[in-house]
Amino acid sequence: MGTKTRRELPLHLMIVPGLIFIILFSYVPMAGIAIAFQKFIPAKGLFGDQQWIGWENFSYVLQLPSFTQVLLNTLLISSFKLILGLLVPLVFAILLNEVKNAVLKRTVQTTIYLPYFLSWVVLGGILIDILSPSGGIVNGLLVSLGLPKIFFLGDNNWFPFTLVGSDVWKNFGYGTIVYLAAITGIDPGLYEAATIDGANRWRKVWHITLPGMRMVIVLLSVLSLGQLLNAGFDQVFNLYSPQVYESGDILDTFVYRIGLLDAQYGVATAVGFFKSIVSLILISASYFFAYHFAKYRIF
C-alpha cells in the first residue's frame, strides 16, 4: 500500500499544473456564463454585485430579426462546408491513388495542403486581392473570357459560395492525406485478386477502395457533425463586410460584434451560451455515434 501510494503520488502531482490551467482558463469562463442572466456592468467585475434579470437577454435576442438570419446563415454555410469538405477530399484521394507515377503523386500531395497551414489572415489577404473587381486577377480572367465581373466578396448571392469554395480550397489537402492514409491500409492482395478476376478500375474503387475506407468516412462524417454551428469565424471575419452581413454573418461574428464592439455583454453571452449548448449536444451525439459505428474511442 505504502509503495503503491509512493508510486502514484508523483502522477497526481504531474497533473496538477495542467489542471490548474484548465480550471483558470476553461472552467472559470464557464462559470462566467452567469453573465447571460445578468444586466452585466463590466466595471463591477465578474464576481461583482450584478443585477440578475433571468432570461431577459435571451428573449431580447430571439426577437431580433437579424438573429434568425444569422442562425440560418450559420447552418447553411456550415452544412455546405461539411458536405463538400467530406466529398472533395474523398474524390481527390481516390483520383490521386490511381496515379502510378510516384514523383507526380508526391508533388501533387505536397502542393495541395500548403494552404492548410496558412492563417486566414494571410489567405484572406490573398483572396481580397485576387477576387477584387478592380484589378484582381480572377475578374481579369473573367473579363478576358468575355464574362461579366463577379463581386465575390461584395455580392450577397456570391458571398456564401466564396466562403464555401475558399474553405474547401484551404482544407481539402488535409482531408486528402487522411483518406490516402486509409487507402494505404487496404490489403494490396485484394486489388491483385480483383485484377486477376478481370475487374476494371471503377469496380475496384467501388468494391475495394470505398469499402476499405468505410470506417474513416463514417468517422469523419460523424465527427464533423459536431461542428455544425462553427461556420468558420476566422474565415468570415477576414472576408466579410457590412454589405454581405445579410448572407455571411454567422453566430460567432454576431457575438463578436454585439459583445466586444457594442459592449452588450449579457446579450452576446446569451447567444454564445445557446451556441455552446447546442454544440455540446451535437458533439456528444457525434462521439456517441463514432463510438457506436466506428468503435472510435478518444481516450
Partner 1 sequence: MGHSFNSTKTRQARKLEWFPIVNTIVLVLVAILCIFPLIHIIAISFSSSSAAAAGQVRLWPVDFTLASYEYTASRGEFWQSMWVSIKRLALGTPLNLLLTIMVAYPLSKESNALRFRLVYAWAFFLTMLFNGGLIPWYVTLKEYGLLNTIWALVLPGAVPVFSIILLLNFFREVPKELEEAALIDGAGQWTTLWKIYVPISKPALATLALFAMVEHWNSWFDGLILMGNPDNYPLQSYIQTIVIQQNLSNVSRDELLNLALISDRTLKASQIFLGSLPIIMAYPFLQKYFVKGIVLGSVKG
Q: Of 199-228, which residues contact partner 1 (CB under 8 A)?
A: 200-201
- 110 touches partner 1 (CB under 8 A): yes
The one among 62, 83, 121, 147 contacting partner 1 by CB under 8 A? 121
CA distance 155 to 56: 35
The one among 14, 72, 83, 285 contacting partner 1 by CB under 8 A? 14
The one among 59, 111, 156, 157 contacting partner 1 by CB under 8 A? 111
CA distance 103 to 42: 59
CA distance 159 to 244: 7
Write the binding mask 55 to 84 for partner 1: x where contact by CB under 8 A, - elsewhere. Answer: ------------------------------
Contacting residues for 165 by C-beta, under 8 A, at least 6 apart: none
Binding residues with partner 1: total (CB under 8 A): 91
The one among 85, 150, 208, 275 contacting partner 1 by CB under 8 A? 275
Binding region for partner 1 (CB under 8 A) out of 54-62, 71-79, 125-133, 204-212: 125-133
Beta carbons of 292 and 223 less than 8 angstroms apart? no
Which of positions 131-150 make contact with partner 1 (CB under 8 A)?
135, 137, 140
Positive or negative, the Cα torsion across 278, 281, 287, 288?
negative
Beta carbons of 39 and 51 less than 8 angstroms apart? yes
The one among 247, 265, 289, 290 contacting partner 1 by CB under 8 A? 265
- 8 touches partner 1 (CB under 8 A): yes
Binding region for partner 1 (CB under 8 A) out of 11-19, 67-75, 186-194, 204-212: 11-19
Q: Which is nearer to partner 1, 63 or 103 (CB)?
A: 103
- What distance lies between CA 274 and its chain's CA centroid? 18
The CB-based long-range contact list for 35-38 (8 Å cut-off, 24+ gap) reads 35/265, 35/266, 35/269, 36/266, 36/269, 36/270, 36/272, 36/273, 37/266, 38/266
Beta carbons of 82 and 228 less than 8 angstroms apart? yes
- 115 touches partner 1 (CB under 8 A): yes
Contacting residues for 112 by C-beta, under 8 A, at least 6 apart: 92, 172, 173, 176
- 191 touches partner 1 (CB under 8 A): no
- 112 touches partner 1 (CB under 8 A): yes
Which of positions 152-181 make contact with partner 1 (CB under 8 A)?
169, 173, 177-178, 181
